Amino acid sequence: MNGNAEAKLIVSVMVLSLGLCFMAKAGMETVWSHDYGTDKAKDKANLEIVKDKLAPGGKALRLPFVAGSVNLPGCNAADLLLAGPVTFVAHVRAEGLIGLSQEFSLKAALRDQKDGEQYEASTMVQVTRVPSDKYVALTFHVGLIQLPAEPKRYRLSIARGWAGEVKDRTPVVWVARIEMKANGKKAAYISEVDPDKVCYRPGQEIKTRVSVVNPTETLFEGMVIVEERYGLETRNVVAKQQARIEPGKVGEFSFSWKAERPEAGREVHVTLLDNAGNPIDNNNAYFGIARDPSFLVTTGQFAGGMYPPALKLKSQIRAARQMKAAGQHRGEVFSWSYCELGSFMPPEGEDPYLGRQMPTWVSLKGMKRGVRLMKEIGMTPISYLAGPAWGIAAYELYQRHPEWFVYSEGGEIGMYDMENRAKYMRRDDFEFVPYNWCLFWGELDATNPEIRRYIADQIIKVAKEMGWEGGRWDVWNMGVGMGSRTIVGKLIAKTGEEADRLTAESLRALKEMVAKALPDFTWGYNMVAPERNATTPLTMAEKCRGGGWLLDETVCSYYKKTSPYHYWAAYRDRIIGWNDHCRKLGGIYNPYPLRRGGGKYPVDRLYESIICQAGGGRYGAYGPYENEAGLVGRIGRMVFRYSELFFGWNYDLQKEDQKLVQVDAPETLWWKQMIFRNKSHAGRPQTIVHLVNSPVSEEVEENPGSLVRLPVTNVKVTCFKDEGQLPQKAWVVTAEPMTPDGEPEVQAVPMKLAKEKGAVSVTVPSVLFWKVVVFEY
Amino acid sequence: MKRARDKRNRITFYGVALFLAVLGFAFGDVKLAEETIEGQTAYRLENERVSLLVNPAQGGNVTSFKDKKGGSVELVHQVPLKGLCMDHFQTQRWPGEMLAAAYTPKVIKQSPAECVLQVSYEVKGDWQSASFPRLSGLLLEKTYTLRAGNPVLECKVKFTAPRNESKLFSYWLQNVFFAGGQYEEKTDVSFRPSIRGVRRKTLRDNDRYGREDWVNDFSDGWMALLDTKAKTGLVVLSDYHLMNCSYANGGNVSLEPMYRIQYLPPKGSAEYITYIVPVTGLDNVVAASEDYVIGYNMQSDGKGSGSVELTAVRALNAPKKLALDPAVVSVDDSNQVAKIAPVVFENLGEAPQIKKITFAGAGKDPLVLRVRTTAEAADGKTFERSFEDYYNGTYAWGENIQVDMTTPCYVGKRPAQEMRLQKPEVMQAGKGGRYNFWYGEGFMDNMYDIISSIRLTSRFNEGKTLWQRAFVANNGAFGNRLSAFPYDYDELLKYNVIILGGVKADALNAVGIEMLSDFIAAGGGMVVLGGPMAYSFSGLAGTKLEEMWPVSSSKSPFAIKPMGDAVIEVAEKVPFLQDLDWSRAPRVKYLHAVTVKPWGKTVLTVAGKPFLVIGQMDQNKGRVACILGAPIGAMDRGKTPFWEWSDWKYLVRQLLWWAERNDFNF
């Protein structure tokens, strides 16, 4: 398959990906349902239909805890003719569940009866939302099914799953009824809104395709209006088109407009008007505009599906689809190269090549395709840069230039394994089995101009040939170690201060060399924790300069009892405080999750996510904790949509004894350590107050049930004058419901300001987990 | 539930103690009695502290062990192949021929003060269809001694080679048991000393270093496995100087000293002494010796002040006085030392004694606790030792590791191990015939293309010619190692020439250095290659091996000089330089700076400096050639690096002939 043909395939598949809001749309109707009140099915496989006075139909499916997954009786159907968005609503009550524990889930699957493609949606049942004494309608929140725009026939199945360990309690979930909602045949509807990229650089053309289905038996005539929304108030109509769609047909409408600053996350909101100008449907999607898409990361940073060795076309396309659907902006690929600084690229014609840190056969073609796919959907592909030179190319580089490498005080060099070298030389033998560690690695002397030039050329070459738009250093980043020496024993840096200065100088020089060839190439780093930088202020400043991506891996060990930061309050202040420091130096802070994958329990992942994002950080590595079923909401989406409130360079942490804001709330509500001054896109001063219903446990990973506090209600937030001015407007920005009985929704709700003497105030109806109050002057 | 069981155990213990007191154990007797296990005779050894069963039918293992102060619970899980003092060879696939073999028992001594039981076995050298001729015929004699008034079981394992045959073996003593009597994956913790601090391991706590079943940088001969909840367990004391590795299996139910490979000449013997020390009242172990077992708990404020609580019990000996002289040192700044007043334990016994001390001015965490110990025996003799442990405290990474994920932030010094090598009575190299080469390939040595030179020396004669190549690996913080070494003198002496590339001292270790110097002393030839890890970089300067070389190098690294692509010149015409084409003017980029010994002859030079030096310490010793150029560094087009010179392989070929005294080839 040639490049163009492949690209077309990608685009056609991309039609399926969308970032729709998860609420059932107003035009949706129930197209299938099953009511256990009228079910005559007999008990089977631990699924019993029981009398239940609380159930609307008098009976419900009783699902006590039995680990595993089982299909629900009565929830199988075939020949369902469907198109566009589809979701499910389950009427449930529950007993014996605790906190945000991920114990009970419902999963619906629609399988295309012709091509077998399967689409899934699911929800958790959690005590934060579902009571025991009444049934509530629970929308399936995760993975609203977006079917292709063209109507097709599908087969339905719904399953329940119990997971985890249950001790000293017997959780039970009752399901009274399940409904499937989709657009019916009464009126035309928007089946799809599809911007072609997740992020656009300023000046690029934004292309958005809108599909409208006319399921009626009459001609549809109307108008499609496209709006771009960002910030708290901005709504710009960017395009309009007349729509004329024959009965039973799908209309495709293409829109394009130019991406313009400010750099921000955005919503493209599409309204369908009828011939009389009345809105009959709307739909939306999200995209960003940023010079560097990493600036808007809210959904993780690693391009998992693009890692070698899994580089099959099909799996890469699936990975790209998933990343686009999730709105992922940054696609970092860990340890993929031939020999890192030895030579990122394999020798001409060597495909597959034996590369990576733990040597693996890698498809060069597959790697290049993965990078291209990420760029096609607007992500920024980032190459991991381990730092040292390694592998056979580095070994050969050493042979030519032993004076380029640094040596320890004892005269030793990085590491080497001559047996692995001998094995590598026999790599073309069919019987060859890759060894488990690289054969050589060494660090280069970054102070040497000749070496800087070599490193810059390596990076320029790999960026040009592979298409990387940035590199993220890991264990070494032009570092000069105190005490390291040249081959003849000359000390490179005598003191820590000198080492810091030389490192910063070397890094800066390299960046400037690369920028001459690749002005937009971006940089990222590891080892940016304050603990690691107490004596390296110049290096830290250079890492931050110009939007450096700062992966703080030290954080992942804070779950340990030996760490002073395993207390939530200390963790919060450490993350938010250092985030502020990094931002003021121009860096983008990316604290790594506890244990790398996130804390042990859901509640740990929730508070890690809140703390990081409230501080303006980009939560790595795989995106924040989001949970609509449990009413937490899509907090990552909220941060993206209102990015000016979190990611702005003017976001300025205030000291705890600040005089700008007073909050009347119990001590368990965090706010004092989370007040910021900021400026809107329009340059208007803002005061931002984060209200966080604090963790139940003082320490991380000490809440196995993921218990949460009751919502704090009627929180009065008072804002005093700033530079002689009182706020003129206020909003509550939230992903959770405004009140506990509502649906979670990413929104900015304008608040009425109550004027007091020298101050204004708003009263926030409730804080379940995290709400943000914004005062604007 | 466990608390109730602990209480029951305590009640049981007091009940048993009372019963034994009535029976007479309070008088301190030790008893040896026969028991019948599945029709076979086993032997119970018992004193007031322990009761154990040795089963000759099961490898002479201790198949039952109860510590009466530890609740008298059975520590050996009663399933096959579990027990204490189990014999195994590292070369045989587990469980090996000895673990369940029938041993021959013999009661050596049976008195109220001391009982001695010996079991013996002649090694067959056959296991699972594999033959181990270097093991067969070894006599294993295992002698257990239990004394009255002493909690420690002594196990002495002696291997003796047959009258007419040398042997080579690697002994592995296995102690597989449940601390506290039952397996608890979280609270059964093993403790093993290493230069990174005491390695504490549970089944689950693997962390960044991986499972660490094998601790290769062990710093003392003890190992301990405790039930940290019940505060009971066993300490195994082994001979540090004989150990090669400290192993505790993944499930954390064993303490297994793995011993260094051992050569025994005909009739030669080697002995391994192990003490099994039962302990109670300790929830950790930081040091153990024949005089004491010590645990500790340390607290710091992260800024250099804190406290240390030391708990000590006796081991084999019960010192009249045990003085501990502690100091707390900052890892970041070794000059920042908090000295603490010594503490003294009087009349150390089986009941734990506790002392608490405070310190200040140690610098910020992480810290190292260093303690010098002086044990005074009843007769007034004193024994000095020391121990240390890494203390993480509030250091942010959370354990002894840097953020680069491979480098420990603290690595102490490893005490030198005594060799106690056994050697053949008569040593003569080259016993295997001609053209036998052992080649240790170090960093960059592949550039020499030694293999071509060897191939040019002679036709490979299947079954007679011996060509072996071993590789060096340097694994950062954990040092250098060789993929193989001829630790068997019989094999070593079959070689004619050893080609020693960049093999550093820690890869050879003291045994290898000794054996290679023996090899040269026995008339074996050696060609030493220059390279980035050779000579001053190798750590071999000043060793017994370097004494045999015609050059000596600096003990500090970096004695290497850039030569500006200087041309090699013939300083002295010797026969092995015949038929070489010097017209290509082979050049050198880097040259090791050495001192030529009076008996060394400089054959080739570069800019007046020695490039090739040969010599023979005396007529009985082997010939040694030292190549002092390093095959590294790029040269301008048109210049020929010496290792790329078309005749280089011929020069080395002829050098190999010279080194093995094949002068008839010239």
Output the pLDDT for position A259.
98
Give the pLDDT confidence of B52-93 residue by residue, as tens digits: 999 999 999 999 999 999 999 999 999 999 999 999 999 899
Nearest chain B residue (CA) to A403: B633
B chain contacts of residue A420, beta-carbon cutoff 8 Å: 473
Query: Residue A10 pLDDT > 70, yes or no?
Result: no
Q: How confident is the model at residue B408 (pLDDT cuts 50, 70, 90)?
A: confident
* Domain at A187-291: CATH code: 2.60.40.10
How many Å apart are CA A44 and CA A73, to the nearest integer?
A: 8
Q: Quick check: bond before A262 cis, omega within 30? A: yes
Output the pLDDT for position B404.
56
Query: Residue A4 pLDDT > 50, yes or no?
Result: no
B36 domain-assigned: yes
Over residues A427-432, mean pLDDT: 94
Query: Residue A139 pLDDT > 80, yes or no?
Result: yes
Return the C-alpha torsion angle B443, B445, B451, B454, nearest 10: -120
Output the pLDDT for position A149.
77
Top residue of A392, A418, A441 to mutate, by most chain B CBs within 10 Å, is A418
Query: Residue B278 pLDDT > 80, yes or no?
Result: yes
Contact call for B395 and A562, based on CB within 8 A: yes
Q: What is the DSSP letter of A699?
A: B
Give the pLDDT confidence of A217-245 residue by residue, as tens digits: 999 999 999 999 999 999 999 999 999 99
Overall number of domains in chain B: 3
| Phi, psi for residue A740 in degrees, rounded to 5 | -60, -20
Q: How confident is the model at residue B402 (pLDDT cuts 50, 70, 90)?
A: low
Q: Angle B204-B205-B206 (CA atoms, 0-180°, nearest 5)?
A: 100
CATH topology for the A294-547 domain: TIM Barrel (3.20.20)
Round to the nearest angstrom and report the end-to-end CA distance of chain B: 85
Q: Is residue B221 domain-shared with residue B336, that is, in the same domain?
A: no
Output the pLDDT for position B609.
98
Query: Residue A387 pLDDT > 90, yes or no?
Result: yes
B425 domain-assigned: no
Q: Is residue B223 domain-shared with residue B340, that is, in the same domain?
A: no
Give the pLDDT confidence of B584-613 residue by residue, as tens digits: 999 999 999 999 999 999 999 999 999 999
Over residues B345-369, mean pLDDT: 94
Q: How confident is the model at residue A54 (pLDDT cuts 50, 70, 90)?
A: very high
Which of B92-96, B344-348, B514-518 is the least confident region? B92-96
Nearest alpha-carbon partner for B46 in B105, B104, B114, B106: B114
B chain contacts of residue A560, beta-carbon cutoff 8 Å: 398-399
Q: How far is B397 from chain A (nearest CA, A)?
A: 6
Query: Residue B18 pLDDT > 50, yes or no?
Result: no
Q: Is residue B350 domain-shared with residue B498, that is, in the same domain?
A: no
Output the pLDDT for position A335.
92
Over residues A249-261, mean pLDDT: 96
Which tokens go with A677? 């001054």
Q: How far is A489 from chain B (nearest CA, A)?
A: 5
Output the pLDDT for position B478.
64
How many Å apart are CA A136 and CA A93, to the nearest integer?
A: 7
Query: Residue A457 pLDDT > 50, yes or no?
Result: yes
Contact call for B560 and A410, based on CB within 8 A: no
B52 domain-assigned: yes
Please, what is the average pLDDT of chain A?
92
Q: How far is A523 from chain B (nearest CA, A)?
A: 19
- Last-in-domain residue among B246, B280, B314: B280
Over residues B522-551, mean pLDDT: 98
Give the pLDDT confidence of A465-524 residue by residue, as tens digits: 999 999 999 999 999 998 899 999 999 999 999 999 999 999 999 999 999 999 999 999
Q: Is residue B93 domain-shared with residue B130, that is, in the same domain?
A: yes
Contact call for B473 and A532, based on CB within 8 A: no
CB A774 within 8 A of CB A730: yes
Paired sense of beta strands B139-147 and B114-122, if any: antiparallel
Output the pLDDT for position A482.
87
Q: How confident is the model at residue B380 (pLDDT cuts 50, 70, 90)?
A: very high
Output the pLDDT for position A211.
93
Output the pLDDT for position B661.
94
Contact call for B397 and A557, based on CB within 8 A: yes
A chain contacts of residue B444, beta-carbon cutoff 8 Å: 398-399
B407 domain-assigned: no
Output the pLDDT for position A769.
98
B640 domain-assigned: yes
- How many residues does the structure list for chain B? 666
Helices (H), A163-212: none
Q: Is A661-776 in the same CATH topology as A187-291?
A: yes
Q: How confident is the model at residue B616 (pLDDT cuts 50, 70, 90)?
A: very high
- Last-in-domain residue among B331, B364, B391: B391
> Given CB atoms, is B664 within the 8 Å cutoff of chain A?
no
The DSSP annotation for B626-654 comes to: EE-EES-----TT-EEGGGSTTHHHHHHH
Q: How confident is the model at residue A27 (pLDDT cuts 50, 70, 90)?
A: low
Contact call for A422 and B471, based on CB within 8 A: yes
Contact call for B476 and A422, based on CB within 8 A: no
Q: How confident is the model at residue B397 (pLDDT cuts 50, 70, 90)?
A: low
Over residues B642-650, mean pLDDT: 97
Query: Residue A624 pLDDT > 80, yes or no?
Result: yes
> For chain A, which residues lie within 8 Å of any Cβ of chain B, measuring from their own Cβ?
398-403, 407, 410-422, 475, 485, 487-489, 526-527, 529, 531-532, 553-554, 557-558, 560, 562-565
Contact call for A401 and B393, based on CB within 8 A: no
Q: Is residue B575 domain-shared with residue B647, that is, in the same domain?
A: yes
CB A65 within 8 A of CB A47: no
Query: Residue A347 pLDDT > 60, yes or no?
Result: yes
Q: How far is A396 from chain B (nearest CA, A)?
A: 9
Contact call for A415 and B441, based on CB within 8 A: no
Over residues B180-197, mean pLDDT: 92
Query: Residue B399 pLDDT > 90, yes or no?
Result: no
Q: Is residue B251 domain-shared with residue B334, that is, in the same domain?
A: no
Q: What is the CATH number of the domain that holds B322?
A: 2.60.40
Q: How confident is the model at residue B11 (pLDDT cuts 50, 70, 90)?
A: very low
> Given CB atoms, is B202 within the 8 Å cutoff of chain A?
no
B510 domain-assigned: yes
Q: Is residue B314 domain-shared with residue B276, that is, in the same domain?
A: no
Q: How far is CA B510 from the centre of its chain?
A: 11
Contact call for A418 and B393, based on CB within 8 A: no
How many Å apart are CA B127 and CA B94, to the nearest integer?
A: 10
Q: Select the residue of B398, B472, B634 nearest A401 (Cβ to Cβ).
A: B634
- With a pLDDT cut of 90, the percent of chain A lying above it is 81
How many Å apart are CA B343 and CA B20, to the nearest integer?
A: 35
Q: Is residue B366 domain-shared with residue B455, that is, in the same domain?
A: no
Output the pLDDT for position A713.
97
Is domain A661-776 classified as CATH 2.60.40.1180?
Answer: yes
Which tokens go with B435? 């053209």
CB pairs under 8 A between A and B: 109
Contact call for A402 and B533, based on CB within 8 A: no
Q: Mean pLDDT: which of A315-324, A476-485, B559-568 is highest?
A: B559-568
Crossing angle of the two packed helices A449-466 and A496-517, in degrees rounded to 10: 40
Q: Is residue B269 domain-shared with residue B310, that is, in the same domain?
A: no
Over residues A135-157, mean pLDDT: 85
- With a pLDDT cut of 70, the percent of chain A lying above it is 95
Give the pLDDT confidence of A657-703 residue by residue, as tens digits: 999 999 999 999 999 999 999 999 999 999 999 999 999 999 999 99
Output the pLDDT for position B211.
63
CB B89 within 8 A of CB B171: yes
B406 domain-assigned: no
Q: What is the CATH number of the domain that holds B255?
A: 2.70.98.10
B chain contacts of residue A484, beta-carbon cutoff 8 Å: none
Question: Which ipTM did the prediction report?
Answer: 0.86
Paired sense of beta strands B287-288 and B269-280, if any: unpaired
Q: How confident is the model at residue A185 (pLDDT cuts 50, 70, 90)?
A: confident
Query: Residue A297 pLDDT > 70, yes or no?
Result: yes
Output the pLDDT for position B13.
45
- With a pLDDT cut of 70, the percent of chain B lying above it is 92
What does the radius of gyration of chain B's CA atoms come to, in whole angstroms? 29
Contact call for A562 and B398, based on CB within 8 A: yes
Output the pLDDT for position B10.
45
Nearest chain A residue (CA) to B557: A411
Nearest alpha-carbon partner for A199 in A16, A381, A471: A381
Output the pLDDT for position B308.
96
Query: Residue B207 pLDDT > 60, yes or no?
Result: no
Q: How confident is the model at residue A46 (pLDDT cuts 50, 70, 90)?
A: low
Over residues A324-348, mean pLDDT: 96
Q: Is residue B227 domain-shared with residue B354, that is, in the same domain?
A: no
B chain contacts of residue A416, beta-carbon cutoff 8 Å: 443, 472-474
Output the pLDDT for position B530.
98
Q: Is residue B260 domain-shared with residue B342, that is, in the same domain?
A: no
Top residue of B394, B401, B404 to mutate, by most chain A CBs within 10 Å, is B404
Return the CATH superfamily for domain A28-183.
Galactose-binding domain-like (2.60.120.260)
The amino acid sitting at B486 is P
Give the pLDDT confidence of A556-572 residue by residue, as tens digits: 989 988 788 999 999 99
Q: Where are the domains of chain A?
A: 28-183, 187-291, 294-547, 661-776
Beta-carbon count within 10 A of B460 CB: 12
Nearest chain A residue (CA) to B473: A417
Q: How far is A585 from chain B (nearest CA, A)?
A: 23
Output the pLDDT for position B1.
39
Helices (H), B391-497: 450-457, 489-492
Q: How confident is the model at residue B455 (pLDDT cuts 50, 70, 90)?
A: very high
Query: Residue A43 pLDDT > 80, yes or no?
Result: no
Domain housing B518: 437-665
Output the pLDDT for position A141.
72
Contact call for A488 and B533, based on CB within 8 A: no
Over residues B13-35, mean pLDDT: 62
Contact call for A420 and B473, based on CB within 8 A: yes
Contacts of B66 (CB under 8 A, 6+ apart): B50, B51, B52, B72, B73, B74, B75
Q: Is residue B362 domain-shared with residue B450, that is, in the same domain?
A: no
B426 domain-assigned: no
